[in-house]
Amino acid sequence: MPLELNMPVVKLGTPALQAAQPVIWTAEMPHNLNIGKFLAQVSITKLATGAATKSIPLLTDAFQSFTWKINGTPNRVRLPYEIFGALGENAVDEKNNAGTVQYFQGGAPVAIVGSMTPAAYGNGVVTGKTIGLIPVLIGSFEDLMLQQQLANNTTTVAIFGLPFLYSQDFRKSYKAALAMALPTAFGDANGNVTGNLGGVILEMAMNPMPAGAGQFSAVGFAGNIEYDTTLAAQGSAVRLLKEKRLSKGYNAVGDIEVADQIKNIAGEALQFVLLSSNGDYIAKVVIKQGTGLKRTQTWEDNILSLRTSGVNVDGISRSQFPIIWDRTDDPTTGLAMDPNNELSIVATIGLAQGQGALVGTTLQINTGIYGAVE
């Protein structure tokens, strides 16, 4: 059946933000349903700067991280910029999943009307349309244009629309998209609930809220869930695209093994690995499983391969290397994990042209593994 819309989500707790320490906000998803998407609406207010500069609210002003917990166990962990925006993981699958933003000053939406000159807006031309009266994609050309239109030294409110995806629309068949959704209850052949997966919680680590000009001063949070009433078969293992954040330190250019950070569990499938450095180039990746060579690609080869497979590569930098196995509707077509064959992923780190020293010494390893809920 089609996913139903607009069931409001219950907030378990939104304690007052503190000036000196972070706090945790939580939101509990409804029980006994099949989660397709959680659509959060977040408002962030940023005070006037007290100078001839703009107040531009960012998700990272208020949020440190988003963690999805099932029965208290983290199954998905991401930082805001890792999910949302033109460079986020959502946008790699489909640019329209980047999330949206709309800006307000003095209680009115900030908008651009008519024709814009190329020099003022990055050599782009906008003619005969109004931008800003409805939300635009985070990090898009329209977003950057609207930011330039903000008045200096003026308090700004940004309202963000953030899609947290379980069911994935970029999969072309409804059945395939539904396979990625998250059933929270078990049922019998007649559709009666016979058990519960446990509480599904979105935990948000909130930044301290410092006082003073140019700082964020308020955050609002609400959300709705898209769902249907599909139940998991009693006794079956509920599967989920689990998203883990891992990291590996390095202190020189050359080859770095990163797979030693990844759990190799039988019956699970590695769908993607996104490698990100702090600015150093990732020149090449070589992947082996046991004695078998699975993939060897330069950064350029990989980008071309992803583009021809329909992946949105426009936001990928030389400091990122997305390794995407699942390029079909079938979520099980990722690389099958095999504890009897050691997984090896070796990334070759290089310096950006003209760079005399490493920018950073941590390689971020974001994984997506389709497997049993933990």
- Whether residue 229 is found in the same domain as residue 244: no
Task: Report how far residue 322's alpha carbon sits from residue 316's, in angstroms, rounded to the nearest whole number.
Answer: 8
Q: What DSSP character marks residue 354?
A: T
Q: Tell me the C-alpha distance between 259 and 176, whole Å.
A: 28
Assign 229 a pLDDT band (cuts: 50, 70, 90): confident
- Answer whether residue 363 shows pLDDT above 50: yes
Q: Looking at the structure, tell me whether residues 204 and 76 fall in a common domain.
A: yes
Q: Report the C-alpha gap between 38 and 256 in whole angstroms.
A: 36
Which stretch of 18-22, 46-50, 91-95, 108-112 has the lowest confidence by average pLDDT?
18-22
Whether 347 has a pLDDT exceeding 90, the answer reads yes
Q: Are residues 295 and 192 in the same domain?
A: no
- Give 354's pLDDT tier (boundaries 50, 70, 90): low
Please count the structural domains in the chain.
2
Residue 328: count of CB within 10 angstroms of its CB: 13
Helix/strand/coil for 141? helix
The CATH number for 217's domain is: 2.60.120.730
Separation CA 102–CA 56 (nearest Å): 11
Look at 8-17, 81-90, 276-285 and tell me which has the smallest mean pLDDT. 8-17
107 shares its domain with 76: yes
Q: Flag whether pLDDT at 280 surpasses 50.
A: yes
| Range 87-96 burial, b when 16+ CB lie within 10 A, else e | bbbbbbbbbe
Q: Are 358 and 268 in contact (CB under 8 A)?
A: no
Structural domain boundaries, residue 57: 4-233
**127 shares a domain with 69:** yes
Point out the domain boundary residue: 175, 199, 233.
233
Residue 104 burial by CB count (10 A; 0-12/13-18/19+): exposed, middle or buried? Answer: middle
Contacts of 185 (CB under 8 A, 6+ apart): 31, 32, 33, 193, 194, 195, 196, 197, 231, 232
Structure tokens at 193: 């609930």
Do residue 127 and residue 30 come from a single domain? yes
Amino acid at 289: Q
Q: Lowest-pLDDT range, 10-19, 39-48, 116-125, 149-158? A: 116-125
Judge if 97 and 208 occupy the same domain: yes
- What percentage of residues in the chain have a pLDDT greater than 90? 58
- Domain boundary among the residues 217, 233, 249 is at 233
351: CB partners within 8 A, 6+ apart: 253, 280, 281, 357, 358
Q: Are strands 362-372 and 269-276 parallel, antiparallel or unpaired?
A: antiparallel
Q: Do 114 and 10 sit in the same domain of this protein? A: yes
| Same domain membership, residue 184 and residue 52 | yes
Split at pLDDT 50, 70, 90, the class of 120 is low
Cα(148)–Cα(158) distance, rounded to whole angstroms? 14
Mean pLDDT of 45-66: 96
pLDDT category at 2 given cuts 50, 70, 90 is very low
Q: How many Å apart are CA 187 and CA 340, to the nearest integer?
A: 35
pLDDT per residue as tens digits for the range 179-210: 788 989 898 888 888 888 888 999 999 999 88
Q: How many whole angstroms separate alpha carbon 72 and alpha carbon 204? A: 14
Please indicate, yes or no, whether residues 147 and 268 belong to a single structural domain of this protein: no
Q: Clarify whether residues 243 and 229 are in a common domain.
A: no
Res 17 pLDDT > 60:
yes
Query: Quick check: 354 and 233 in contact, CB under 8 A?
Result: no
**Residue 157 φ/ψ region, left for φ over 0, alpha for ψ in the -120 to 50 degree band, beta for the rest:** beta
pTM for the model stands at 0.89
Pick the residue with more confidence: 127 or 318? 318
Residue 55 phi, psi (nearest 5) = -100, 110
Question: Taking CA 179 as the corner, what is the angle to CA 175 and CA 180, rounded to the nearest 5 degrees?
Answer: 125
How far apart are the C-alpha atoms of 195 and 231, rounded to whole Å? 10
Q: Select the highest-mean-pLDDT range: 41-50, 203-212, 345-354.
A: 41-50
Structural domain ending residue among the three candidates 216, 233, 250: 233
- The answer on 218 and 250 residing in a single domain is no
How high is the mean pLDDT of the chain? Answer: 87
CA 232 to chain centre: 26
Average the pLDDT over each of 204-213, 275-284, 346-355 and give the range with the smallest value. 346-355
Distance CA(192)–CA(231), nearest Å, equals 9
